[in-house]
Amino acid sequence: MKIYKEKIDFKSTTQLEFVDLTDRVEDIVERSGIRQGQVLVFAQHTTLGIVINHNESMLLQDFMRVLYKFAPVDDQYSHDLFELRRDKKADGRSNGHSHCKALVTGVSETVPIEKGRMILSDIQSIFAVEFDGARKRDVVVQVTGE
Amino acid sequence: MKIYKEKIDFKSTTQLEFVDLTDRVEDIVERSGIRQGQVLVFAQHTTLGIVINHNESMLLQDFMRVLYKFAPVDDQYSHDLFELRRDKKADGRSNGHSHCKALVTGVSETVPIEKGRMILSDIQSIFAVEFDGARKRDVVVQVTGE
Amino acid sequence: MKIYKEKIDFKSTTQLEFVDLTDRVEDIVERSGIRQGQVLVFAQHTTLGIVINHNESMLLQDFMRVLYKFAPVDDQYSHDLFELRRDKKADGRSNGHSHCKALVTGVSETVPIEKGRMILSDIQSIFAVEFDGARKRDVVVQVTGE
């Protein structure tokens, strides 16, 4: 059993953004030398999601709209009432809505690998979904198998 | 470490449908000969989800209703404005809502295996959730372990 | 390849509750002796979710509010019409809303392990999310790697 890890660094440019990481994950799978197994894409963040879907620019607008409806940025979030929070690590960002969105997308995806490549269909892309940009971000890519 | 893969083929019969794959996944786990490890159920699709919950026919109606509320089929989706899309691979289906639903369910689930069987409770079923049927579909089942 | 499993038992105290399992999962990873690999946290339940996010008490209130909006406890759910259900295993709990919430959070999370520890950021916690408490619950923790 072989385990190989790399990080992907990127910079989001807007508050809500779908960043397509498919090619960079594919490169890491290739560098791992692993022919059969799995790749885990994991975000060490609480306002960034990892999802797999179709990279079609107008569809991405639809995703943003339904996620907005689920947790509108212009609602009131207790998390944003800094005066009342006892949490030492508050970073002063009004990002209650961002955490809520990340709750439903999840922070990881696992993709099977066969013959050295991810088993993804032509229209599947792996996205990091920025819910609280613009920011520098990184994502862990761990390949396991043989 | 052993890795075993099969595909499950099925045909959905309605637009929104919960297809219970538990028995077929269980059979694959048995055929794999793997006694201890994990099984990854992965959909190579962008309008099909994989979830684990209770297969109770009236509950499935509830699931459909809350997913409808999340992304109503009768809303307007930019993805469905074919005249404006520059995407070469458009298949002409008005399925913006289907992609949105798949975004929150995710396209995979991983279940632990012990003594040759999945560790599922009696009322847990593994579903492929069709968001854009009726269609022929397939799902990848990858068993890893020893 | 090494595989190690333990269960975490806990008791939820309210209907909707975020139970932070991070320290107990970390202890299991340590006891496993696995230095490099993954840990899968899996709930054998249909009204309990597993998520990773920030353990900040006021944010947890926000999570509860958006999940309430997604599947309000005071809506009508077909699952709760016991007179009409043919399901032998009905437990008589009016928990249609609980199942619906579990549908979007999912029942598992996978976290990479490096140098014997989970790769989590300082503000990431692993939660079991109780959607139908108070109850006794357990969660499977499976560590794989070497």
Which of A5, A45, A46 has its CB closest to that of C114?
A5
Per run of 10 residues, the mean pLDDT along chain B (length 146 residues) is: 97 97 98 98 98 96 97 94 68 89 97 98 97 97 98
Question: Do B62 and C79 lie within an 8 Å CB cutoff?
Answer: yes
Confirm if B144 and B41 have CB atoms less than 8 A apart. no
Confirm if A40 and A144 have CB atoms less than 8 A apart. yes
Question: Do A99 and C145 lie within an 8 Å CB cutoff?
Answer: no
Give pLDDT < 50 ranges for chain A: none
Question: Do A99 and C62 lie within an 8 Å CB cutoff?
Answer: yes
The pLDDT score that the predictor gives to residue B16 is 97
Q: Report whether pLDDT(C93) > 90.
A: no
Closest residue in B to C85 (Cα–Cα): B58
Which of A37, A53, A111 has its CB closest to that of B42?
A111
Task: Report the phi/psi class of residue A14: left, alpha or beta, with left for phi > 0 and alpha for psi in -120 to 50.
Answer: beta
Question: Do B62 and C100 lie within an 8 Å CB cutoff?
Answer: yes
| Number of neighbours of residue A10 by Cβ within 10 angstroms | 16
> The tokens of B134 are what?
């009726």
> Could you tell me which of A35, A22, A23, A28 has the C-alpha nearest to residue A7?
A28
The pLDDT score that the predictor gives to residue B117 is 98
Strand partners, C57: none
> The tokens of C138 are what?
């357990």
The pLDDT score that the predictor gives to residue B86 is 66
Kindly state the percentage of chain C with pLDDT values over 90: 90
The pLDDT score that the predictor gives to residue C28 is 98
Alpha carbons B16 and B59: distance in angstroms, whole number: 14
The pLDDT score that the predictor gives to residue A91 is 63
Residue with tokens 């959070």: C105
Closest residue in B to C83 (Cα–Cα): B58
pTM score: 0.96
Question: Do C3 and B36 lie within an 8 Å CB cutoff?
Answer: yes
Of all helices (H) and strands (E), which one includes residue B102? helix B96-105
What is the arithmetic mean of pLDDT over C75-93?
77
Alpha carbons A74 and C53: distance in angstroms, whole number: 21
CA A99 to each of CA A4, C22, C52, C66: distance values in angstroms, whole numbers, following the listed order: 29, 18, 10, 11
Angle formed by the axes of helices B96-105 and A57-70, nearest 10°: 60
Pairing of strands B136-145, A37-43: unpaired
> Could you tell me which of C111, C129, C132, C125 has the C-alpha nearest to residue C34?
C111
Tens of pLDDT, residue by residue over C16-39, are 999 999 999 999 999 999 999 999
B-chain residues within 8 Å CB-CB of C100? Answer: 62-63, 66
Alpha carbons A66 and B48: distance in angstroms, whole number: 17
Closest residue in A to B43 (Cα–Cα): A120
**Mind telling me how many Å the CA of C103 is from chain B's nearest CA?**
7
Interface test with C, best of A5, A8, A34, A44 (most C CBs within 10 A): A44
Which of A54, A63, A120 has its CB closest to that of B44?
A120
The number of residues in chain A equals 146
Of all helices (H) and strands (E), which one includes residue C24? helix C22-32
> Could you tell me which of C80, C51, C77, C76 has the C-alpha nearest to residue C66?
C51
The pLDDT score that the predictor gives to residue C82 is 79
Closest residue in B to C109 (Cα–Cα): B110
> Could you tell me which of C22, C35, C4 has the C-alpha nearest to residue C112?
C35
Tens of pLDDT, residue by residue over C46-82, are 999 999 999 999 999 999 999 999 999 999 999 998 7
The pLDDT score that the predictor gives to residue C88 is 55
The pLDDT score that the predictor gives to residue B93 is 83
